[in-house]
Amino acid sequence: MIKNLVFQCFDAFFLLAVSPLVIGIIRKTKARFLLKKGPSLLQPYYDLMKLFRKEVTLPDSASWLFKATPYVVFTFSWLAASLVPTFSTNLLFSRTADLIAIIALLGTARFFLSLAALDTGTSFGGLGSSRESLIASLAEPAMIMIIFTIALVAKSTDLSAISTFMISGQAGLRVSLWLALASLVLVAIAENGRIPVDNPATHLELTMIHEAMILEYSGKYLALLEAASQLKIVLYLSLIAAVFFPFGMATMVGGISSFFIGLFTYIAKIGLGALMLGFFEILVAKMRLFKIPNFLGAAFMLALLATVLLFVSRSL
């Protein structure tokens, strides 16, 4: 019990510490493939420290909701990321690591952020909030179908149970799982506001989505929202690794050495995920807003096809 508590605390603070580095790897990868030197891998850490030291300025029309939202979004994002098994399937929060609970936590954080964007009454806040709500309404049906497919295969929505089932090799090579993986990647790109759905590096009125909602924030409030955004990327990378590539994870029967093997394997997985995301972003361009429903429609169809194939294969 005490050992699990220690590893769970380590896991939570490890995710918090490593999430800016993942952003640094993505930016560095993009710069290198474009034949540029690029910022340091540690630049996201410097940016967060600079924001925490800056003075906070608030709009005159901001209410308590505007001030409370960064803390709510950061806490819920951190909690959701901590629920996902990373280097072990036997962490303390593993018993509550339910896929539906994680999606609910992220949805609540997004709900508060949308309300805070509307709270100040600015046009950019309303614009970003409506666009974010559109993406969420299209991404969540695809995510539900992905959860449905995985739950049918592993007979559970508990992430630790899913990881243990996948490690055992009982799932085999299923086309349904590969389709669910492709759908989850598309949903992860949309939910994190990455290219081609959104470009976090620009503040263009015609294209920005997530940045429009946090445009009025500054200082420590903006730092908390940036940290929450970084944790969300790590969450999705961890989710993909835990469900589809769980090899190397420590299990209940393993000793201390297996935990360290699991930790180094997990670092390699999210590092590779960040490299692939950075490489993918230089290959595609930002799509126009009215094409985003097609993008997420493809994600939903892949997830639906995965579920249908699963039922068909079982009936044969």
- Given a cut of 80, whether residue 254 has pLDDT beyond it is no
Q: What is the mean pLDDT of the chain?
A: 89
Distance CA 236, CA 316 (A): 34
Distance CA 161, CA 165 (A): 6
How many C-alpha atoms does 23 have within 13 Å on its Cβ side? 25
pLDDT at site 301: 95
pLDDT at site 315: 66
- Given a cut of 70, whether residue 135 has pLDDT beyond it is yes
Report percent pLDDT > 90 for the chain.
56
Choose among 297, 184, 194, 301: nearest CA to 243.
184
Give yes or no for a contact between 118 and 175, defined as CB atoms under 8 angstroms apart. Answer: no
pLDDT at site 231: 96
Give yes or no for a contact between 287 and 189, defined as CB atoms under 8 angstroms apart. Answer: no
Flag the least confident range among 23-27, 98-102, 140-144, 208-212.
208-212
φ and ψ of 86, to 5 deg: -110, -75
Flag the least confident range among 67-71, 186-190, 256-260.
256-260
Distance CA 309, CA 128 (A): 37
Residue 294, amino acid: N
pLDDT at site 245: 92
User: 171-208 burial, b if ≥16 CB within 10 A, otherwise e?
Assistant: beeeebbebbbbbbbbbbbbbbbbbbbbbbeeeeeebb
74-118 per-position pLDDT tens digit: 999 999 999 898 888 777 776 677 888 899 999 999 999 999 999
pLDDT at site 99: 85
Q: Looking at residues 210-218, what average pLDDT do you find?
A: 88
Flag the least confident range among 4-8, 69-73, 276-280.
4-8
151-177 per-position pLDDT tens digit: 999 988 888 888 888 888 887 778 899
Cβ partners under 8 Å of residue 247, min gap 6: 167, 265
Q: Looking at residues 182-187, what average pLDDT do you find?
A: 95
Q: Report the Cα 113 to chain-centroid distance in Å.
A: 16
pLDDT at site 1: 67
Residue 278, amino acid: G
Neighbours of 80 (CB within 10 A): 24
Token readout for 164 is 């243990």
pLDDT at site 314: 72
This prediction's pTM: 0.94
CA-to-CA separations, 154 to 34, 86, 98, in angstroms, rounded: 41, 18, 13
- Given a cut of 80, whether residue 33 has pLDDT beyond it is yes
- Given a cut of 70, whether residue 316 has pLDDT beyond it is no
φ and ψ of 251, to 5 deg: -115, 180
Give yes or no for a contact between 97 and 134, defined as CB atoms under 8 angstroms apart. Answer: no
